[in-house]
Amino acid sequence: MSSPKREKIADLLKSQEVNREVTAKGWVRAFRSNRFIALNDGSTLHNVQAVVDYENTDEDLLKRLTYGAAVSVFGQLVASQGKGQSVEIQVSRLEILGDCNPDDYPLQPKRQTMEFLRENAHLRPRTNTFGAILRVRHALTFAIHKYFTDRGFYNIHSPIITGSDAEGAGEMFRVTTLDPQNPPTTETGAVDYSQDFFGKETNLTVSGQLEAELGALALSQVYTFGPTFRAENSNTSRHLAEFWMIEPEVAFNDLTDNMDLAEDFLKEVIRYALEHCVDDLQFLHDRQVQEDARKPQNERNPMPLLDKLKFVAENEFARVSYTEAVEVLRNSKPNKKKKFQYPVNEWGVDLQSEHERFLVEKHYKKPVILFDYPAKIKAFYMRLNEDEKTVRAMDILFPGIGEIVGGSQREERYEVLRQKIQDFDIPEESVWWYLDTRKFGTVPHSGFGLGFERLVTFVTGMGNIRDVIPFPRTPQNAEF
């Protein structure tokens, strides 16, 4: 007897059509009373209940229905008598696709710590939490492409291997095929990269922005969505060495247009998730409420997840200049009481995450767009303001996250940009092509970068960025 084609559990649970033969395949989440299998295939958070006729089922087969075992069930889809589900499968035939020995299996059907699951990143997608995160991550990816597609942006694939350091922070991973034991050297004894694969020094990109600008200066509105790499030795809950970045770039946009775009974009993708990830976000919301209950009062989330997401999607962000923010910080209680690790005494200091979080969480109590930063603490490509001290930069700060977006209006004036490149000690031969665009039909233009994992962290309410990317890369860690 041949079985009908496999149907996804998500579809079976929604099915209005009962009393028909179906096949479902998945992994056992629970087997109760020698009768009820909770089967999950990852198509949804929810399990389908498969009811086994244990009296007519081989005892050995029943014993193999352990947590994590892969099975195929075949039978009638019927309206469920029990609570908690509208349909269930009355199993007439059962097949074990893959055994899972409970004595060896690292996952257990109980609460496991995030640290433990990180060490088992090859298996953690099978947990409810990671299933939900991965589905939300996918929905956000789609929402981002949809947002830009709907508005006439073109997706540009910027290169992953580059010869330039877009952010000028020198935090790059080298790409080379030279023999590390015995590299060719120049007369001065330095490694001779002219003999390397590309005939020059190359690295993994820290940003696709410079190439996105080239695209925007032809197609007007473009965006990138690609992996970026930063060798910063930051062991924090907000940093990855490999992360994904979305970088829209728009010709003719000034800084205000740029802020408008970024704010609308963030709200729209959050709304998309609220609308399309109802079950997963409810699960993550409940999970966060439970986790918070275990924590001391001052470490709890000030707003439960779903309320926070709605709040951000529905309220205007504060827009505050750097100068104003420094005044607020200087006069703030934690600064006066010397509670900040980095005190804010004078204009020009770089803001630390403690300052950003104070502004967002304590002072303005909503997302904040900071703009017009001192030129000295920002990248070379940002447009110089008339005061010649500040640049048209903007950072968007989110509660619990800190900086989620960094962007700017770009310096479109050839002479000014060339001077900046010299002042920042950037070798002109690494960016001659970038400078060229300012010689041939230059226009004002702006863009920003959204750290995708910071967005996913925010939307899922997870406490650590390592838990929102399938296989995190961080210092001392590239297993899996």
Task: Note the residues at the interface with ligand 4AD (CB under 6 A).
Answer: 166-167, 207, 209, 230, 232, 239-240, 243, 245, 247, 403-408, 447-449, 451, 453-454
The residue (of 406 and 444) whose beta carbon lies closer to Mg ion is 406
407 near Mg ion, rule: CB under 5 A = no
The secondary structure of residue 360, as a DSSP letter, is I
Q: Shortest Cβ contact with Mg ion: which residue?
A: 406
454 binds, among ligand 4AD, Mg ion, none (CB under 5 to 8 A by kind): ligand 4AD
Q: How far apart are CA 478 and CA 480, in angstroms?
A: 7
Tell me phi and psi for residue 147, to 5 degrees: -55, -50
245 binds, among ligand 4AD, Mg ion, none (CB under 5 to 8 A by kind): ligand 4AD
- Least Å distance between CB 212 and ligand 4AD? 7
Q: How far apart are CA 326 and CA 420, in angstroms?
A: 25
- Least Å distance between CB 256 and ligand 4AD? 16
Nearest CA-CA partner of 368 in 302, 303, 317: 317
Q: How far apart are CA 360 and CA 162, in angstroms?
A: 35
The residue (of 26 and 449) whose beta carbon lies closer to ligand 4AD is 449
The residue (of 8 and 145) whose beta carbon lies closer to ligand 4AD is 145
Cβ neighbors of 14 (< 8 A, separation 6 or more) are none
Residue by residue, DSSP assigns 279-345 as HHHHHHHHHHHHHHHTS-GGGS-SS-HHHHHHHHHHSPPEEEEHHHHHHHHHTSHHHHTT-SSS---
Asked if 352 and 341 count as a contact pair (C-beta separation under 8 A), the reply is yes
The secondary structure of residue 477, as a DSSP letter, is B
The residue (of 208 and 406) whose beta carbon lies closer to Mg ion is 406
405 binds, among ligand 4AD, Mg ion, none (CB under 5 to 8 A by kind): ligand 4AD
Pick the binder of Mg ion from 406, 444, 447, 451 (CB under 5 A): 406
The residue (of 406 and 447) whose beta carbon lies closer to Mg ion is 406
Q: How far apart are CA 81 and CA 237, in angstroms?
A: 45
215 binds, among ligand 4AD, Mg ion, none (CB under 5 to 8 A by kind): none
Which region, judged by CB under 5 A, interacts with Mg ion, from 15-23, 81-89, 371-379, 400-408?
400-408
The residue (of 166 and 175) whose beta carbon lies closer to ligand 4AD is 166
User: Can you give the binding site for Mg ion, defined by CB under 5 A?
Assistant: 406
